[in-house]
Amino acid sequence: MSTTPSAATGASPLRTPLLVLALVVVLTLLAWPSFIGRIQYAKTREELAAIRDAAAGGELAPVGKLFTSLARIVGPAVVNVTSSRPVELVADEVGALWGPRSQLVEDESSASGVIVERDGLIVTNYHVIAQARSIEVRLADGRSFDAEMVGADAATDLAVLRIPATDLPTVAWGDSDRLEVGEMVWAIGNPFGLDRTLTYGIISATNRRGVLDDPLQEFLQTDAAVNRGSSGGPLVNVHAEIVGINTAIVGADFQGIAFAIPGNTAREVCRAILDRGPVERGFIGVQVDDPSDDALGGALVVQVDPRSPAAVAGIRRGDLVLRFDGRPVVDKPTLYLLATRAPIGADVPIDLMRDGEPLRVTVRVGRRPAEKGSDRGR
């Protein structure tokens, strides 16, 4: 004997399974993020447990000697850089009555550097030797040499020196692009004249921009102590490789925040100086600002240089740049960095928003005008 659904229920044999299936799908979607989160948390716990077990078994006992090993490996390649520059000393009103109103005196400052090639090639900060009349380098073994400036790049605050010495200890370059927040790092330099001081910390942030109000600069942030005189010294990883060149702090004294030029940037600038002299950078010829609507992102064009690559390509004031050569432009520093790193002469697609409509133009990257301090030799 067959039965049929009553008029009161209003349900069909097909509708009930579909409702159940829909309910299961909805509950699954709601639970999925929590499920994935539990998996990631469990994986992290497993990794931490493995580290704990290894430590309990004595496998990490050599880590206690890691600091001393790094000091022994990297320390001999860290040098003291002393520069001398003329400074105008202005007399007060009383002093001016009895002598000249001003006179030039020699001002000496001391900082750090690191040997990267055995034949005496040294990398340091540009601000360490800027406008220096003479540069002296003192090695870890006590020897001192007059240094020649091979070249400098003010935009990235890097300089390359050479001393007449061979068979020197060096530090190898590491890959700073692989650094992650939380990785252990060590800073080595000569703060306050205390040669080869080793400090320890972690990477606090990468790709930190806007620190010195220079759109061409981005930094690694670390809590390894960096003080006056540490500038130009290396920031190294657990493999005793250079991953940064220490360059700046917040305020007059160390407060737990220091900045280093990424090692890959320093290595590229060093190689460019050795190969070509002045460092060449891309140029498209726009001035930009962040849009008033933060939700849009991008870089708002506020001025286009006449006859520049951007003007030739048809970019106008008011255009919003969203992508440069396929890479997202999140703010104005991003656009400046992407443009300056683009190969000169390359045809690069730029995605814009103009009057609410998307638009793509192609810009042939030009050569950025040389900056003061970006020269070879003296």
Contact 190, 229 (CB under 8 A): yes
d(CA 323, CA 319): 12
d(CA 369, CA 378): 19
Closest C-alpha among 276, 238, 57 to residue 153: 276
Contact 107, 190 (CB under 8 A): no
Distance from the first to the final alpha carbon of the chain: 106
φ, ψ (nearest 5 deg) of residue 136 = -120, 135
- What letter represents residue 88's amino acid? E
Q: Which of 83, 110, 112, 127 is catalytic?
A: 127
* Token digits of residue 262: 């990424």
Other Cβ atoms less than 10 A from the Cβ of 7: the count is 6
The yes-or-no answer on residue 231 being catalytic is: yes
d(CA 180, CA 176): 9
Q: Which of 231, 319, 331, 374 is catalytic?
A: 231
The β-bridge partners of 209 are 218
Measured CA distances, 104 to 12, 88, 194, 311 (Å): 100, 5, 29, 47
Helix count (H) and strand count (E) of the chain? 7, 21
Q: Which of 83, 110, 112, 157 is catalytic?
A: 157
Closest C-alpha among 366, 362, 358, 364 to residue 350: 362
DSSP-derived secondary structure letter, 216: T
Report the catalytic residues: 127, 157, 231
